[in-house]
Structure 1
Amino acid sequence: MQDFIREENLKLYRRALVESTDEEQRKVLLVLLRLLVLEQAAMAPRSQQAQMESHLSL
Structure 2
Amino acid sequence: MIKVCSQHVTKGLNLFPVPHVKILPSYAIQSCYFCEKKASVKLYMPLESPYKSKAAAM
TM norm structure 1: 0.25
TM norm structure 2: 0.25
Give 1 or 2: higher helix fraction. 1
Q: Which protein is bigger by CA-based radius of gyration?
A: 1
By relative contact order (CA 8 Å, sep 6+), the higher-ranking structure is 1
Give 1 or 2: higher strand fraction. 2
